[in-house]
Structure 1
Amino acid sequence: MVVLPHAGGSASFYHGWGAAFDEGTEVLVARYPGRHDRLTDPCVHSMDALADHVTGALLPCLDVPVTLFGHSMGASLAYEVTLRLQSEHSVRPAALHVSSRKAPHRLTPRRLDEQGDEALIAELRRLGGTDTELLDDPDLRELVLPALRADFTVVGTYGPRDAAPVDCPVHAYVGDADPSMSAHDMESWADVAPRGFQLQVLPGGHFYLVDEHEALVRAVTEQLSAIP
């Protein structure tokens, strides 16, 4: 299972996922450039470039069934990677799991990347999910801001796009108190899911997957168990 983090997120956010599934499931979490051990790597500023990078990195791993899970920005990225795998490499992922993000044809991008640092930080605080110590410490904030701005550029310049279908089931998740996303918004993924669509609403906000970690893992595990 390939996990693609949200804007401003990192692989460490999903540290607990490695041991959350059975021994038959290997969890790979993307490490985007510009943070942690890739701090000096150039940041990526477009969804297409990021999807190309992730797709290329996955090519050696395609000898087993692949499932993608993406939260927020990561949901759009997982969708784009799925399209690339099926159209460019004749690989059909076992399933696409999307969390807290509208389908590509229903997106209304916000150009927060064109605003000042305080606007980005205010949005991160509003949504939660980012370590506030990083935002409160001036020195740490200077280190993480380039990656944050790159991620918000990726988000702000992506969509709306055509509703290109994926050749696998789509499973969607959202928090019932998400300030920026509703169950109705997530239902738009059904338009790109001719192979089947399911939506699960869990308690919580945009980062419901923190408090509802066990419930989300159970839901994903149920879908993984159905893979031949």
Structure 2
Amino acid sequence: MKNRYIKTVKNNPNGIQLFCFHYAGGNASIYNRWKTKIDNTISLFAVQLAGRADLYSEDLIVDLDILLDRLYKEIKPYLDKPFVFFGHSMGGFIAYALTAYIEKVSQKRPEFIIISATQPPEYYYGKKNYLLSDRELKEKLKKSGATPDEILNSKELMDIILPIYRADYKLLETNKIAKEKIETKAFIFNSEEDIKKEIIMEWRDYFAQKIEYIKFNGGHFFIHKEEEDVITEINYILNSYF
């Protein structure tokens, strides 16, 4: 089955292709609200990882090499036109890893990548959140504000959600990414209420070109709290670049 991971949110056959990767515990639907706000010059695609939403019947993927191989096979048919990656939190981790992978196996690469609310990979590797008990993981989600109370208080929903979070944490915490400078240009979106600037700017060690830093308010989930500002910035960057 083709394109099961790539969901078309807004299609412009002649537009700049923007591929968006969701955060841990999320799914492609978080980008559906962008359809009416992203410029008409842009084709918007949301990447759906296995084991959630319409791909719930598929096994969750915790091996980064397997994930990159599958994502590349699905995204390869799109690479004959200019494309850009955007990833928030875990999505930024995946977007970087996929960009590095594409640079190695293809002559194509993103025009640039936007990494949003994502620490450099070494800050995830070696942590043990994926080993937390269900109670501990639920408490972590409650403190982060990532999950509404009505979901946290539903055993049926938590039985679905906790394995997804656990797998996503394992993906982040057990797959080591080499610190090598790739050629693709990068923009960094960040809220300093979430990640200190001096930490997130360590992404400079992963890119050959100078990275561009753009500050937002709103904490880790500024992608939602400051959605209008985020989309306005993306529209501006893409239309300025092309």
Same structural fold, with TM-score higher than 0.5 when normalized by the shorter chain: yes
* Misfit runs of 4+, over 6 Å: none
Match of 1:112 among 120, 129, 133: 129
User: Contact between 2:125 and 2:174, CA under 8 Å: does it hold in 1?
Assistant: no
**Displacement, 1:149?**
1.4
Give the equivalent residue in structure 2 for 1:163.
179
1:140 aligns with 2:157: yes
Per-residue CA shift, 1:150-178, capped at 9, x if unaligned?
1111122133x332122221000111311
Q: TM-score, normalised by structure 2?
A: 0.86
**Displacement, 1:26?**
1.0
Query: Secondary structure at the residue paired with 2:38?
Result: coil
Give the equivalent residue in structure 1 for 2:77.
60
**Displacement, 1:106?**
5.0
1:198 aligns with 2:215: no
Counterpart code for 2:127: R
Counterpart code for 2:224: V
1:225 aligns with 2:239: yes
Give the equivalent residue in structure 1 for 2:188.
172
User: Contact between 2:28 and 2:48, CA under 8 Å: does it hold in 1?
Assistant: yes
Deviates more, 1:76-85 or 1:118-127: 118-127
User: Contact between 1:112 and 1:119, CA under 8 Å: does it hold in 2?
Assistant: no
Q: Identity over aligned residues, as a percent?
A: 24
User: Contact between 1:170 and 1:198, CA under 8 Å: does it hold in 2?
Assistant: yes
**Displacement, 1:107?**
4.4
Give the equivalent residue in structure 1 for 2:102.
85
Q: TM-score, normalised by structure 1?
A: 0.91
Give the equivalent residue in structure 1 for 2:36.
19
Counterpart code for 1:127: S
User: Contact between 1:18 and 1:26, CA under 8 Å: does it hold in 2?
Assistant: no
Counterpart code for 2:89: S
User: Which ranges in structure 2 are unaligned for 5 or more consecutive residues?
Assistant: 1-17
Per-residue CA shift, 1:87-144, capped at 9, x if unaligned?
1011121111101112234545421111201222222222223344322200111122
Deviates more, 1:150-159 or 1:126-135: 126-135
Equivalent pairs, count: 225
Give the equivalent residue in structure 2 for 1:38.
55
User: Which ranges in structure 1 are unaligned for 5 or more consecutive residues?
Assistant: none
Residues 52, 125 of structure 1: alpha-carbon distance in 2 compared, 3 angstrom cutoff = farther
Cα separation, 2, equivalents of 1:39 and 1:90: 33
Residues 132, 10 of structure 1: alpha-carbon distance in 2 compared, 3 angstrom cutoff = farther
User: Contact between 2:102 and 2:109, CA under 8 Å: does it hold in 1?
Assistant: yes
Cα separation, 2, equivalents of 1:129 and 1:152: 14
User: Contact between 2:130 and 2:170, CA under 8 Å: does it hold in 1?
Assistant: yes
Residues 157, 62 of structure 1: alpha-carbon distance in 2 compared, 3 angstrom cutoff = same
Give the equivalent residue in structure 2 for 1:95.
112
Cα separation, 2, equivalents of 1:19 and 1:52: 32
Counterpart code for 2:223: L
User: Contact between 2:181 and 2:207, CA under 8 Å: does it hold in 1?
Assistant: yes
Give the equivalent residue in structure 2 for 1:212.
226
Query: Secondary structure at the residue paired with 1:2?
Result: strand
Cα separation, 2, equivalents of 1:32 and 1:50: 9
Residues 123, 47 of structure 1: alpha-carbon distance in 2 compared, 3 angstrom cutoff = farther
